[in-house]
Every structure is written in C-alpha cells, then in structure tokens.
Amino acid sequence: MTAATTSAADSAVPTAGATRVVLADDSSLFRMALTELLASNGCQVVAQAGDAEELLDAVERERPDLAIVDIRMPPAQHLEGLRAAVLLRRRHRGTGVLLLSQYLEVAHLDELVGRTARGVGYLLKDRVTGPDFLDAVRRVAADGCAFDPEVVPLLAGGRGRRDELADLSPRERQVLALMAQGRSNAAIAGELHLTTRTVETHVRNIFIRFALPDETEHNRRVLAVLTYLRSA
C-alpha cells in the first residue's frame, strides 16, 4: 500500500443524496481536479486510490455508487485498472464502473461487460473536461451504460458481431451506436437531424429485430446495447 489512498474524511463534506464515488488514478493532481469537478456537480468522492489494490480495498470498505478507474495503473502501468474493474464487476454488482483511459484498450472489455452492460462505462480521458463525462457519471451510477464514441466501433467490430446486426437497417445501426454511447432519444435525434418520434420508431424496431422481452424501456435499451457490444 502507498499513501495515495484517501478516505471520506479527506474528501468534500458529505451531501445528502450525493452520488458516492471512489476515484482511482495514480496522478494525485488528476484526482484532485476530478474530485473538485465531481463535488461541484452533486457527487461525493468518498475515497481515492493510487493503484489497483487500493481501489479494491476502498470499494470493499465504502461500497460506493460508482468507481471511476484509470485503465493503466501501477505497478506496471499496463491494464491493472481494467483487471481490477473486472473484479469489481464480479464482486460488487451494486457499484457502477466507469473506466477512463488516454488510449483505446479493448483487452478484457468483453469480461468487463459480461452478461449485462448495466452499470459500466468507458471514456477517453479527454472527455473529462466536457459534458459527456458528467452525463456518463450519472448514467453509470444509475445502472445505465456509457461508451466513448471511439470505443464503440472497436467493441462492435469483433468476430461474429456483424451477423448480430444483419437485420438492422443502416439508420437503425446508427441509432444503436449512439444508444451504446449512452445518448437519450432526444440527443440521438439532434445528432442525426431526426425528430424524436422518428428515433423512437427506430428504437422500437431495434427491440423487435433483437426479439427483446417486453420489459421497461431502460432494460430493453441496455439489452439492445449489450447485443451490439457482444457476440455469441
């Protein structure tokens, strides 16, 4: 263990109803900046960690709503954060995991997603300064999903995935790709210059083509995204 771990007592004063976050990154300056950003947007960083072992210990201790994890962490600065995130997904289903990275990494991401894309996200670090980051924090903490636009094609481009999408029209594939980024119907409409009603029709058609069970809208969106991200 190093001195990088910070407990809730070192974080901002608790706010009633705040999203509780464990933040893992080996850069103390990055953690400090991100803590301030989160605190000013309705979140409370209850612990910080500088390596994967500290991250696992902090989540076990604090049981947060969300863990924000850098993919590359000490000691090797390779995929320690990603491997720890896979363990967190197995051990703590109530904690969302939002990965951050300076580089596109696809190793182990199928393991991370597992059988459900609920409560998981992956953004490139340059998104942290924009609105996509806070939107992803809220979505993943609320058991949704959020994937970086540059990550989605890599996840969807693996062996067998084209067959999964064979019945979709080109427009439906565009809509589904934006769904995988965590976009709402209104946001998808704005991106594709469509009406919200048209997007709703495309989303319904996707549900039908994937033969998804008649569950809540949220659950069916997650299942559709999971079908997009994974293959048998």
Judge if pTM exceeds 0.75.
no
Local confidence band at 19 (pLDDT 50, 70, 90 cut-offs): very high
Is the CB of residue 24 less than 8 Å from the CB of residue 53? no
Average pLDDT, rounded, for the chain: 80
Is the CB of residue 117 less than 8 Å from the CB of residue 139? no
Q: What is the pLDDT of residues 82-122, one digit of tens each?
A: 889 888 988 998 899 999 988 776 665 666 776 666 788 88
| pLDDT greater at residue 38 or residue 225 | 38
User: What is the four-CA torsion angle of 181, 185, 187, 193, rounded to 10 degrees?
Assistant: 110
Token digits for 91?
């051990």
3-class SS at 47?
strand
Name the amino acid, one letter, at 114: G
Q: Which domains does the chain have, with CATH numbers?
A: 8-148 (3.40.50.2300), 158-229 (1.10.10.10)
Local confidence band at 35 (pLDDT 50, 70, 90 cut-offs): very high
| pLDDT greater at residue 106 or residue 2 | 106
| pLDDT greater at residue 184 or residue 117 | 184
What's the CA gap between 110 and 161, in Å, rounded? 13
